[in-house]
Amino acid sequence: MKADYILWEGAGRGPNGAPQVVLGVKGLLYVQISAKTPKDLHSMYAPIARNPAWELLDFLRELRGPDGRVNIPGFYDDILVPPSVEGLTASKLGIDLRLMKEALGYEVQDDFLVKLVRDPTCNLDGIQSGYTGEGSKTVIPSHAFVKLDFRLVPRQQPKVVLAALREMVKKRNLEMMVLGEEEPFRTCEDSEIAKALIDSARETFFMEPLVLPNSPGTGPMASVARTLGIGQIADGVGPDNPGSNIHSFNEFIYKRDYRLCKEWMVNLLKRLGV
Amino acid sequence: MKADYILWEGAGRGPNGAPQVVLGVKGLLYVQISAKTPKDLHSMYAPIARNPAWELLDFLRELRGPDGRVNIPGFYDDILVPPSVEGLTASKLGIDLRLMKEALGYEVQDDFLVKLVRDPTCNLDGIQSGYTGEGSKTVIPSHAFVKLDFRLVPRQQPKVVLAALREMVKKRNLEMMVLGEEEPFRTCEDSEIAKALIDSARETFFMEPLVLPNSPGTGPMASVARTLGIGQIADGVGPDNPGSNIHSFNEFIYKRDYRLCKEWMVNLLKRLGV
């Protein structure tokens, strides 16, 4: 398989209705970390007993500050933030913040898109320990585990983050299982594919596309780029809108968007000289 | 119903084989605390989203230090520790620490019994949030809850602790459900029932009983004392041993202990002039 560039699936219309051009993806590291003791105990032993749930929580307290900052050594060292990110404010882009409030269920700030594109995160996907049924049970659980995903921005390497995390986990005698690893990826804004996508979007929609240096989400762009040796991968020409119920029940697109996106693709192929 | 004193069920043989005389119980406060947002979200929103699990963990971080200290205002103010507690060390009592290691699954210190009797605790009984099945799911959960029990020592009042806890919970916009409340209770070591139990134990077993100012566990002694107006309640004459599998599968007592405890009760009743 050989190609000059790849047009990736996934981008749609931005919160302001503008067509999206997305030049990369965040990486991901997904782990499950657990703490164990030999057996459940009556909670009257609490003054002297080890409680794996507290031990896990103490680790999480060390891992992530209340401000969301991730305390893995070197976590923020290799990050590359393109200057264009700072321009992604709602006020500059004409984005109505009420649309995001609807999507999330509560209010966000003017710089929400800057943060989505720029910031790596440590997210708690799930946690479980002890008795979680109705009513009360006075027990010191023997097992606690947490599922965490780290979204990584370009130049952060999951393997590097994982190695440092492994050290922290080892120091506290916790167990760790790795459930997912994806490298971030970003195509240069001056690449042929980016320029062609942006220009053909303007031509088709008569408006400025929303260009994101990378998606807030993750995909295997880096694996494809490495395997095929293709450095120019961009994501655009998608007809979904912010209310599309993407990946959910009753997902839909507008016919108008579908027709426009077909036209956008034709215009893109012409510009690329295909 | 009228009585001068109550002989309570529950005490058995101590870790050193000595008959136990227990003069009170710890109190208990059991609560479930939860954090909620309108809906689950894709974890790509982590840079801007509220995560109820992190919000709950931030609260737990505030509530309890890594040293186990409970940071509820006034929590340690009303505690009464009788001087006899300090004498409850394993070395002084001839208790083999290996027996406790077997019961818990890991080693404890010489002062384990001091801590069990003296220290109030905040124990995490259960916690649940988000995806906890096999493998990975990148989700920001919309609901997180924790079950906590506080063992309270004599003079700590569950209602007072609860009021202060309620303030902390309110400040963080969390929800709280109260699932259990019991006051602690303690009978004076110089009371008639205590003296009669101790003396009859010596007479029956030809050894010094293990006298605990209060149990590490909880029972409704205070409610009974208040309802019936009886201030002298003590717990003794029980035949179970540290390996009895109490409250568990294959619970047992030794015939020898059963016979000795019958004798102890006869000797007790004689002393009380019944």
Considering the domain architecture, whether residues A146 and A217 belong to the same structural domain is answered as no
For residue B57, the chain A residue with the least C-alpha distance is A57
- Who among A38, A43, A60 is closest to B125 (CB)? A43
B41:A104 CB<8 A = yes
Is the pLDDT at A15 greater than 80? The verdict is: no
Residue B87, φ and ψ in degrees, nearest 5: -80, -5
**pLDDT tier for residue A112 given thresholds of 50, 70 and 90:** very high
Considering the domain architecture, whether residues A176 and A44 belong to the same structural domain is answered as yes
Min Cα separation A203/chain B (Å): 30
Considering the domain architecture, whether residues A51 and A127 belong to the same structural domain is answered as yes
In a domain, B1, yes or no: no
In a domain, B205, yes or no: yes
Q: What rounded mean pLDDT belongs to chain A? A: 94
CA A197/CA A199 separation, integer angstroms = 6
A37, amino acid identity:
T
In a domain, A37, yes or no: yes
A138:B123 CB<8 A = yes
Set of chain A residues whose Cβ sits within 8 Å of the Cβ of B247:
42
> CATH no. for residue A43?
3.30.70.360
- Who among B41, B51, B108 is closest to A48 (CB)? B108
Considering the domain architecture, whether residues B219 and B208 belong to the same structural domain is answered as yes
Tell me what pLDDT residue B102 has.
Answer: 84
A130:B125 CB<8 A = yes
Tell me what pLDDT residue B22 has.
Answer: 96
Min Cα separation B238/chain A (Å): 19
Set of chain A residues whose Cβ sits within 8 Å of the Cβ of B122:
46
Q: What is the pLDDT of residues A242-263, one digit of tens each?
A: 778 777 788 899 999 999 999 9
Set of chain A residues whose Cβ sits within 8 Å of the Cβ of B251:
none
**pLDDT tier for residue A77 given thresholds of 50, 70 and 90:** very high
For residue A58, the chain B residue with the least C-alpha distance is B66
- In which domain, by residue range, is B200 found? 6-25+185-271
In a domain, B89, yes or no: no
Considering the domain architecture, whether residues A261 and A222 belong to the same structural domain is answered as yes
In a domain, B71, yes or no: yes
Q: What is the pLDDT of residues A17-43, one digit of tens each?
A: 899 999 999 999 999 999 999 999 999
B161, amino acid identity:
V
A128:B128 CB<8 A = yes
Domain end point (choices B160, B182, B204): B182
Q: How many domains does chain A have?
A: 2
Tell me what pLDDT residue B226 has.
Answer: 93
Set of chain B residues whose Cβ sits within 8 Å of the Cβ of A53:
124, 126-127
Q: What is the pLDDT of residues B155-214, one digit of tens each?
A: 999 999 999 999 999 999 999 999 999 999 999 999 999 999 999 999 999 999 999 999
B125:A139 CB<8 A = yes
Section A90-118 average pLDDT: 91
Considering the domain architecture, whether residues A157 and A206 belong to the same structural domain is answered as no
Determine the straight-line distance between the first and last CA of chain A, rounded to whole angstroms: 17
Q: How many A-B residue pairs are in contact by the CB < 8 A criterion?
A: 206
- Who among B44, B68, B247 is closest to A151 (CB)? B44
Secondary structure of chain A in the HEC alphabet? CCCCCEEECCCCECCCCCEEEECEEEEEEEEEEEEECCCCEEHHHCCCCCCHHHHHHHHHHHHECCCCCECCCCCCCCCCCCHHHHHCCHHHHCCCHHHHHHHHCCCCCCCHHHHHHHCCEEEEEEEEEECCCCCCCCEECCEEEEEEEEEECCCCCHHHHHHHHHHHHHHCCCEEEEEEEECCEECCCCCHHHHHHHHHHHHHHCCCCEEECCCCCECCHHHHHHHHCCCCEEECCCCCCCCCCCCCCCCCCCHHHHHHHHHHHHHHHHHCCC
Tell me what pLDDT residue A272 has.
Answer: 92
Considering the domain architecture, whether residues B57 and B71 belong to the same structural domain is answered as yes
Section A212-234 average pLDDT: 95
- Who among A125, A131, A218 is closest to B130 (CB)? A125
Q: Is B16 exposed, middle or buried (0-12, 13-18, 19+ CB in 10 A)?
A: middle
Set of chain B residues whose Cβ sits within 8 Å of the Cβ of A245:
none
% of residues, chain A, pLDDT over 70: 100
Min Cα separation B63/chain A (Å): 12
B127:A144 CB<8 A = yes
Low-confidence stretches of chain B (pLDDT beneath 50): none
Set of chain A residues whose Cβ sits within 8 Å of the Cβ of B50:
106
> CATH no. for residue B218?
3.40.630.10
Is the ipTM reported for this complex over the cut 0.95?
no
**pLDDT tier for residue A200 given thresholds of 50, 70 and 90:** very high
Tell me what pLDDT residue A274 has.
Answer: 77
Output the CA angle B198-A41-A147, nearest 5 degrees.
160
Compute and round to an integer the Cα radius of gyration of chain A.
22
A129:B126 CB<8 A = yes
Output the CA angle A68-A71-A76, nearest 5 degrees.
90
Is the pLDDT at A11 greater than 90? The verdict is: no
CA A155/CA A254 separation, integer angstroms = 37
Judged by average pLDDT, the poorest of A50-59, A199-208, A240-249, B265-274 is: A240-249
Contacts of B173 (CB under 8 A, 6+ apart): B35
Min Cα separation A213/chain B (Å): 15
In a domain, A170, yes or no: yes
- Who among A46, A64, A127 is closest to B129 (CB)? A127
Tell me what pLDDT residue A250 has.
Answer: 87
Considering the domain architecture, whether residues B14 and B126 belong to the same structural domain is answered as no
In a domain, B102, yes or no: no
Considering the domain architecture, whether residues A169 and A54 belong to the same structural domain is answered as yes
In a domain, B114, yes or no: no
Domain end point (choices B154, B182, B210): B182
Tell me what pLDDT residue B8 has.
Answer: 94
Considering the domain architecture, whether residues A241 and A152 belong to the same structural domain is answered as no
Considering the domain architecture, whether residues B266 and B192 belong to the same structural domain is answered as yes
Name beta bridge partners: B20: B210
Considering the domain architecture, whether residues B15 and B52 belong to the same structural domain is answered as no
Domain end point (choices B182, B216, B233): B182
A130:B127 CB<8 A = yes
